[in-house]
Amino acid sequence: MTDNMLPIQPQFRIFLSNLERQMSDEQKEIWIPKAERFEIFGSYCQTELGHGSNVKGIETTATFDAETDEFLINSPTISSTKYWIGSTGVWATHGIVVARLIVKEKDYGNHLFLVQLRNLDSQEIMPGCEIYELGPKAFQGMLGTDNGALTFHHVRIPRDQMLARNAQVLGDGTYIPPKNLKHSYGSMVTVRALMAEITGWDLLKAVTVAYHYTNFRKQFSRSGNGHESPVFDYASVRYRLLPLLAKATALVIVSQAIKRAYEEYTAKYLRTDDISQLEDLHLQTVGAKVYSTEITGYGVETCRIACGSHGYSALSGFGRMYANSINAVTYEGDNFVVAQQVPRAILKHFKAGTESSIPSLSYLSVLRNATTPQPLGIRSPSDWLKRDSQSFILEQQVAILVQQHMEDTKAGRDTSYACHALTMAHGDFVYWKGLWEVVDNIPSGEVYKGSMVALAQLFSLSIMTSAHIVLCLPLTLTAAQRASLRLAYDAVIVEVAGKHAQNVINAYGFTEFELDSALARSDQSPYEALLEGAQKSEMNHMQHLWPMMVDTRKMWRRAQRDIQKGGVKSKL
Amino acid sequence: MTDNMLPIQPQFRIFLSNLERQMSDEQKEIWIPKAERFEIFGSYCQTELGHGSNVKGIETTATFDAETDEFLINSPTISSTKYWIGSTGVWATHGIVVARLIVKEKDYGNHLFLVQLRNLDSQEIMPGCEIYELGPKAFQGMLGTDNGALTFHHVRIPRDQMLARNAQVLGDGTYIPPKNLKHSYGSMVTVRALMAEITGWDLLKAVTVAYHYTNFRKQFSRSGNGHESPVFDYASVRYRLLPLLAKATALVIVSQAIKRAYEEYTAKYLRTDDISQLEDLHLQTVGAKVYSTEITGYGVETCRIACGSHGYSALSGFGRMYANSINAVTYEGDNFVVAQQVPRAILKHFKAGTESSIPSLSYLSVLRNATTPQPLGIRSPSDWLKRDSQSFILEQQVAILVQQHMEDTKAGRDTSYACHALTMAHGDFVYWKGLWEVVDNIPSGEVYKGSMVALAQLFSLSIMTSAHIVLCLPLTLTAAQRASLRLAYDAVIVEVAGKHAQNVINAYGFTEFELDSALARSDQSPYEALLEGAQKSEMNHMQHLWPMMVDTRKMWRRAQRDIQKGGVKSKL
């Protein structure tokens, strides 16, 4: 179950990444070797029972005691209980705790502190710490992760366990502020950069299982000759699965570029402390996180439902896949909350006139032109395959939503709901642009170029089919243009289904172990695998319950016999 | 866990309903008292491993043996294994088996046969039957239902256990065909008529939990005065939850009317064998099934996600609610498959010119008029509250989709994907009409009339917000009309949130037991309930694993010490 993460992942990576980015050089020398050798195993303790996305509301305190040169870590309320902390219900020996720094009764806001949680030789919880594992999650998701609840009862740690790369507290209580306030983005940016690509692979696995099964499963006859047709041959299945194959491919390819950019930034930052690119990376990873997790979470479930009733068997593996991917719309920043950061950045650049410095904001130039653009001159379905038509629709989509967002903001309206659609539209444009950049760069001689072009067209037409409905008069598509867009979409679906889908899925080359589904085995048909699974159900061996069942059924008969004999005698 | 059905429900009702509708009077006299007294307990065995919605493809055979006056029930292939049969993995003693009737090598198609599956005195599986319980379902859904796989190895049953109200086989093998071929709709119509209302209640429970929690949970400050605001006060939460409150209310109210119509039909049918209304009831229940299950399944999950990270705790109850409601888009006919029946019926009535006989098809008159209607003359947000504007948008939505469906059908295109949107648009219109009929009939003096009107307006504006985007030129809304629709929607959201939502939820009056969620307790805050739940996690008592954890961490240190001592000696 490769998508049921081991309890130590991704915490191992997040912990190390924080030590690297937030510790002073002296601290790193002590702690990083221990963490790398797994002598200690740490987690990142930010979220509280009462505060998630609103990090500023965190209540845990770290109060400096100058006499003993220590901080006292404390959970003052039930809502300050650290909650959902990964790998901490059972495993973690240390935690990087986000807490409000208090020195001489002054509150300096959130800082990071390294706190030992468990005895290294016995795994016993350290005095003053109270830790519980949270128990089952929805859909039995993330089974392998021991999420923890942590309460700190005035736990003392030495002063040098405050992570001191940026801010510091001296022995006399002097507070040295950080050179730059943006450094704390780092941890979430790390995770989000990883997430965007991983989600793409998760969706590809679900699509692969569904593709395999819907090509096996036959139902009804399309031709009318009495022979049943594979359900994959029906539009109802193709229009659900194939756009997801294209979208998942876009997620993997474009997110890889974002991850590379982040890795380059980190390497540079560790050499030079240069954080000039962090804000843009933050914007990119937030946008990618919202876009990729929405498409993947709901996409996995679409794959399951397209497989009909057998998709609902736990043996199909889809339940596990959904349980482990849909939560990503919530963690590392609830999508509706973090989606608000994208329009905020767009507006900032638009107002400052700096949008040309960010390639993915090119659509803002549409808003700079006071004149209304000409409606599209589409004459045939193939016109929709042209890059100009595509960019027109996708740029107009974002531009109209940005325009609306600016008006709403001006009018003082709450934009927290509408922002989500804007961020998704921004994602459509960014991923569309990024996907074509990669596909266009494939040399013409490559055998897979044709398949990649077809997938990119499918991605484009699929998102345009939703995007065009945002267009207002006079840009609204005419009935004829709508009809030709549908025909273009039909044609690319047929092309991908007939010529490319199988090759693309083969190229991804998932193993049976990775897919872990009774619907996609090489040595058994789905029906054989399902039936074999049923034969293993524990409930087939519950003979000890049979007498109860027989008795239950006889009760009424006995009661009736008693009634016929002259009434039941009340024994009460 | 009221939504985790007892293993004997709804099979008890389906079984009885089939005996009543499909047995001859003589058969009823024998079997109905047994079933009512629960001496026998039966299930409905239709779906096979290889055939679900395509009932005509069923492979199980019932071959008549004139010599012994028996039928031989047989599963000739692995794909003919009866699968997903409710209450049959452990409980059922009898099954109504759908099988192809074979007499003298002639195949008469599907008929119903009563087969004993288990010994009444010992619960042991009967000779010739092979039965397995299917094991876990996705998301641990329907935990209480023992779905079964059944293989029949030439099982013999007496001739009088073929359900003989409609078709019969005489002792000499003469086949008496049914008077009417439509009778077999009955079973699915029963279940679907029940489902449409039940789903409404399921959605209401999820909305109630989310409403309670999002009013408790505070995050960020809306006013900027530093005081955190309930997350329910944000548009991002209100625009997700409140339309669902209105939709769930519509589902309950309109589906009750459909169920009543079905009950009246059944009572009449049992007296008169009159099935003239069955086709329309079939259409109504199919449409209601698709519409209600789509809204409920995805709606429950929307409620969970609107609750953020704590929605992902199993303690919230949302996981269980989703697991037990989303499968309804698949069972009793996959929504994408059965959705095709609605346009089929629409076309039939349109072609025959009989649409005026079905009130819910009134929108077809739009298509009869060759002239294009005038675009809407909306001048202010309040114009959207008028019944005329609403019916215009909703009628045009269906009319355009019907028009498109007719063109697609004419062109020989596969409409199986597009039909789904058409059936949902049909549902919008039917439920909109049905909801106002009920709300308009509430006497003006009733204290709850104001709340019901507000909910009906919210329902209307919510569906119109999606419906208007289907409108083509020249009916497309202008930018100003779109803006005013948004303002009208805003206004009704504010009104329902501020004045009605709490009253409506109080009026539904769900108990804590029914909601079964840590997020909605009367004597504990959600935080207290979650933390108490965490304290009960089994994983808090896994001390036996601690030495392994400590050892694991020490391995690397030992290896390194050995290396320092002069290299690890290879023992291989």
Write out pLDDT tens, residues B448-472.
999 999 999 999 999 999 999 999 8
Q: Determine contact: A93 vs chain B, CB below 8 A.
A: yes
Rounded to an integer, what distance in angstroms lies between the CA atom of residue A236 and that of residue A232?
A: 8
What pLDDT score was predicted for residue B549? Answer: 87
Longest dimension (CA), chain B: 97
What do you get for the CA distance between the two ends of chain B, in Å?
57
Peptide bond into A178 cis (omega under 30): no
Q: Which residues of B touch A552 (CB under 8 A)?
A: 38
Enzyme catalytic residues of A: 332
Q: Rounded CA gap, A142 and B413, in Å?
A: 43
Partner-chain contact A234 B416, CB within 8 Å: yes
Question: What is the 3-class SS of B331-387, one letter each residue?
Answer: CCCCHHHHCCHHHHHHHHHHHHCCHHHCHHHCCHHHHHCCCCCCCCCCCCHHHHHCH
| pLDDT, position B9 | 66
Q: In the prediction, which pLDDT does B564 show?
A: 73
pLDDT of residue B173: 96
User: Two tokens at B217?
Assistant: 């949970």
Q: What is the ipTM of this complex?
A: 0.94
Chain A residues whose beta carbon lies within 8 Å of the beta carbon of residue B313: 134-135, 137-138
3.90.226.10, 2.40.110.10, 3.40.50.300, 3.30.70.1060: which CATH number matches A11-175? Answer: 2.40.110.10
User: Both tokens of residue A479?
Assistant: 């009935």
Type of residue numbered B351: K
- Contact in structure between B455 and B503 (CB atoms under 8 Å): no
Of A87-96, A563-572, B549-558, the range with the highest mean pLDDT is A87-96
Q: CA dihedral defined by B349, B352, B358, B363, rounded to 10 degrees?
A: 70
CB-based contact B531 A149, cutoff 8 Å: yes
Q: What proportion of chain A, given as a percentage, has pLDDT over 70?
A: 95
Q: Measured between CB atoms, which of A81, A525, A539 is closest to B531?
A: A81
The values of phi and psi at residue A46, to 5°, are -110, -65
Shortest CA gap A556–chain B (Å): 6
Beta-carbon separation of B534 and A52 below 8 A: no
Distance CA A508, CA A180 (A): 43
B180 or A140, greater pLDDT: A140
Residue A260 buriedness (CB in 10 A; 0-12 / 13-18 / 19+): exposed
Q: Which of A138, A236, A547 sits opposite B417 (nearest CB)?
A: A236
CB A152 within 8 Å of CB A83:
no
pLDDT value, residue B403: 93
pLDDT tens sequence across B491-514: 999 999 999 999 999 999 999 999
**pLDDT for residue B7:** 54
> Looking at beta carbons, which residues of chain B come within 8 Å of A123?
546-547, 549-550
Query: If phi over 0 gives left and psi between -120 and 50 gives alpha, with beta otherwise, what is residue A220?
Result: left
CA A258 to CA A262: how far, in whole Å?
Answer: 6
Alpha carbon distance, N-terminus to C-terminus of chain A: 56
- Fold that domain A188-353+384-508 belongs to in CATH: Butyryl-CoA Dehydrogenase, subunit A; domain 3 (1.20.140)
Amino acid sitting at position B400: I
pLDDT digits (tens, 9 = 90+) for A126-184: 999 999 999 999 999 988 889 999 999 999 999 999 999 989 999 999 999 987 665 55
* Interval B393-451: pLDDT, tens: 999 999 999 999 999 999 999 999 999 999 999 999 999 999 999 999 999 999 999 99
A513 touches chain B (CB under 8 A): no
Q: What length is written for chain A? A: 572
Name the token pair of A142: 């993330």
Q: What is the CA radius of gyration of chain B?
A: 29
> pLDDT at residue A264 above 50?
yes
| B138-164 pLDDT, tens digit each | 999 998 889 999 999 999 999 999 999
* CA–CA gap between residue B538 and residue B150 (Å, rounded): 36
Residue of A nearest to B466 (CA): A469
* CA nearest to A51 within chain B: B219
CB B182 within 8 A of CB B279: yes
Q: Please, are residues A148 and A82 in contact by the beta-carbon 8 Å criterion?
A: yes
Angle in degrees, CA A283, A287, A288, rounded to 5 = 115
Nearest by CB to B309, from A84, A240, A490: name it.
Answer: A84
Residue B572: the pLDDT is 39
Answer whether A135 sits within 8 Å of B538, measured CB to CB: yes
Mean pLDDT, all residues of chain A: 91
Radius of gyration of chain A (CA): 29
DSSP state of B411: T
Given a cut of 90, is residue A288 above it in pLDDT?
yes
Scored b (16 or more CB within 10 A) or e, A16-26 reads bbbbbbbbeee
Residue type, B226: G
Q: Residue A302 — φ and ψ, nearest 5°?
A: -60, -40
Residue in B closest to A228 by C-alpha: B57
Using the Cβ of A172 and the Cβ atoms of chain B, whether some distance falls under 8 Å is answered with: no
* pLDDT of residue B273 exceeding 80: no
Contact (CB, 8 A) for B398 and B362: no
Q: Tell me, yes or no, if B144 comes closer than 8 A to chain A by beta carbon.
A: no
Residue B40, min C-alpha distance to chain A (Å): 7
The structure tokens listed for A568 are: 């039941």
Report how far Cα B5 is from the mean position of its chain's Cα atoms: 14
A81 close to B (CB below 8 A): yes
Q: Which amino acids of B are annotated as binding site, given as ranges? A: 47, 86
Question: Is position A427 annotated in a ligand binding site?
Answer: no
The more confident residue out of A258 and A83 is A83
Residue A150 has φ and ψ, to the nearest 5°, of -125, 130
Average pLDDT over residues B369-379: 80
Binding-site annotation: residue ranges of B for FAD: 47, 86
Q: What is the pLDDT confidence band of residue B4, given thresholds at 50, 70 and 90? A: very low
Of A41, A235, A533, the CB nearest to B417: A235
Cβ within 8 Å, pair B135-A315: yes
Determine whether the annotation assigns residue A47 to a binding site: yes
Confidence of residue A572 (pLDDT cuts 50, 70, 90): very low
Within an 8 Å CB–CB cutoff, is residue A143 touching chain B?
A: no
Out of B323, B469, B546, the one facing A122 most closely (by C-beta) is: B546
The CATH fold assigned to B11-179 is Butyryl-CoA Dehydrogenase, subunit A; domain 2 (2.40.110)
C-alpha–C-alpha distance, residues A24 and A166, integer Å: 8
Confidence band, pLDDT 50/70/90 cuts, at residue B202: very high
Average pLDDT over residues A304-322: 97
Shortest CA distance to B73 belongs to which of B87, B57, B59?
A: B59
pLDDT tier at B279, thresholds 50, 70, 90: confident
Q: Look at residue B258 in the predicted model and tell me its pLDDT.
A: 84
Instruction: Collect all residues with Cβ–Cβ distance below 8 Å to A196 and sequence separation of at least 6.
Output: A251, A255, A258, A259, A285, A288, A289, A291, A292
Q: Measure the CA–CA gap between A149 and A151, rounded to whole angstroms.
A: 7
Does residue B234 sit at the A interface (CB-CB below 8 Å)? yes
Q: Indicate which of A553, A558, A564 best probes the interface with B, i.e. most B CBs within 10 Å of its own CB.
A: A553
Contact by Cβ (8 Å): B214, B240: no
Q: Which CATH superfamily is domain B188-355+383-508 in?
A: Butyryl-CoA Dehydrogenase, subunit A, domain 3 (1.20.140.10)
DSSP result, B445-490 = T-TTHHHHHHHHHHHHHHHHHHHGGGPPTTTS--HHHHHHHHHHHH
Task: Return the closest-CA partner of residue A14 out of A5, A4, A2, A26.
Answer: A5
User: Global pTM?
Assistant: 0.94
How far apart are alpha carbons A269 and B90 in whole angstroms?
Answer: 63
Residues sharing a CB contact under 8 Å with residue B118, sequence separation 6 or more, in sequence order: B92, B93, B124, B125, B126, B129
pLDDT of residue B278: 76
Per-residue pLDDT of A518-527, as tens digits, reads 999 999 999 9
Q: pLDDT for B558-571, tens place per residue?
A: 777 777 776 555 44
pLDDT band at A3, cuts 50/70/90? very low
Token pair of A455 as six digits: 């997938």
Beta bridge partners, B267, equal none
Closest chain A residue by Cα to residue B334: A308
Distance between CA atoms of residues A339 and A285, nearest Å: 11
**3-state DSSP assignment of residue A162:** strand
State the Cα–Cα distance between residues B210 and A447, nearest whole angstrom.
52
Q: What stretches of B78-216 adopt beta strand conformation (E)? A: 82-85, 94-103, 106-116, 129-133, 148-152, 155-158, 168-169, 175-176
Query: Quick one: pLDDT at residue A2?
Result: 41
Residues 6+ apart with CB under 8 A from B441: none
- Mean pLDDT of the region A464-471: 95
Select which of B294, B332, B395, B495 is catalytic.
B332
- Exposure string (b/e) for B104-122, b if CB count within 10 Å is 16 or more? eeeeeebbbbbbbbbebee
Instruction: Return residues 31-60 of B near A (CB < 8 Å).
Output: 37-41, 47, 49-54, 57
- Per-domain residue ranges for chain A? 11-175, 188-353+384-508
User: Rounded to whole angstroms, what are the CA distances from A504 to A6, A199, A446, A458, B144?
Assistant: 29, 18, 14, 13, 41
Q: Which of A529, A207, A510 is nearest to B83 (CA)?
A: A529
> Of the given ranges (A140-144, A202-206, A393-397, B383-387), which has the lowest mean pLDDT?
A140-144
Q: Write down the number of H helices and E strands in chain A.
A: 17, 13
Q: B332 catalytic, yes or no?
A: yes
Cis check for the bond before A474: say yes or no (omega within 30 of 0). yes
pLDDT of residue B376: 85
When CB atoms are compared, the residue of B38, B78, B490 closest to A556 is B38
Other residues' Cβ atoms within 10 Å of the Cβ of residue A122: 12
Judged by average pLDDT, the poorest of A1-5, A178-182, A444-448, B328-332 is: A1-5
pLDDT digits (tens, 9 = 90+) for B283-335: 788 899 999 999 999 999 999 999 999 999 999 999 999 999 999 999 989 99
- Best of A39, A56, A416 to substitute, by most chain B Cβ atoms within 10 angstroms, is A416
**Those residues with Cβ within 8 angstroms of residue A311's Cβ, 6 or more apart along the chain or in another chain:** A210, A213, A303, A304, A305, A318, A519, B138, B330
Confidence at residue A11, expressed as pLDDT on a 0 to 100 scale:
76
Using a pLDDT cut of 70, give the percent of chain B over it: 95
Hey, which of A415-419, B38-42, B477-481 has the most confident mean pLDDT? A415-419
Least confident window among A63-77, A240-254, A498-512, B14-28: B14-28
The two tokens of residue A294 are 């929405």
Tell me what the mean pLDDT of segment A513-532 comes to: 96
Is A118's pLDDT higher than 60? yes
Reading the block at residue A164, the tokens are: 């001191």
> Any idea which of A277-291, B197-211, B330-344, B449-463 has the lowest mean pLDDT?
A277-291
Higher pLDDT pick, A407 / A553: A407
The pLDDT tens digits of the residues spanning B87-127 come to 999 999 999 999 999 999 999 999 999 999 999 999 999 99
Q: Which stretch of DSSP H or E encloses residue A94?
A: strand A94-103
